[in-house]
């Protein structure tokens, strides 16, 4: 895009591009969550009192698509944390 004022057509094209990118991102997040849930079915994703919900209960797209995208990302993080705890070899993290 140039620094000149955008036209309505240019705004429409940019908006459609963003919508398309958002749908692609939503699909990638859902696919990652389903993949992790299938690969690590015993990973705890939610604790409610004495009850622990495990990843095997959300290992399909209809279940995952019911959640907001932010919650899907949170669940991915919980499964990744579980996997990191199970691995006895700790890889050094480099923070930039």
pLDDT band for position 2 (cuts 50, 70, 90): low
β-bridge partners, 46: 53
- Closest of 64, 27, 28, 58 to residue 40, by C-alpha: 58
Kindly indicate the confidence band of residue 35, based on its pLDDT and cuts at 50, 70 and 90. Answer: very high
Please give the pLDDT value at position 87: 81
Give 2 or 26, the one with higher predicted confidence: 26
Question: What Å distances lie between residue 22 and 48, 59, 78, CA to CA?
Answer: 32, 22, 23
pLDDT digits (tens, 9 = 90+) for 42-91: 999 988 888 999 999 998 999 899 999 999 999 999 999 999 888 877 76
Q: Can you give the residue ranges of every domain in the chain?
A: 8-86
The answer to whether the beta carbons of residues 45 and 63 sit under 8 Å apart is: no
């Amino acid at each position: 895009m140039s620094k000149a004022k955008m036209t309505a057509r240019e705004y429409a094209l940019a908006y459609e591009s963003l919508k398309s990118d958002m749908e692609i991102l939503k699909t990638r997040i859902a696919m990652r969550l389903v993949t992790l849930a299938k690969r690590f079915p015993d990973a705890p994703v939610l604790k409610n009192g004495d009850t622990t919900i495990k990843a095997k209960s959300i290992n399909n797209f209809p279940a995952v698509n019911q959640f907001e995208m932010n919650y899907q990302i949170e669940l991915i993080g919980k499964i990744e944390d579980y996997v990191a705890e199970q691995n006895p070899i700790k890889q050094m993290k480099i923070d930039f």
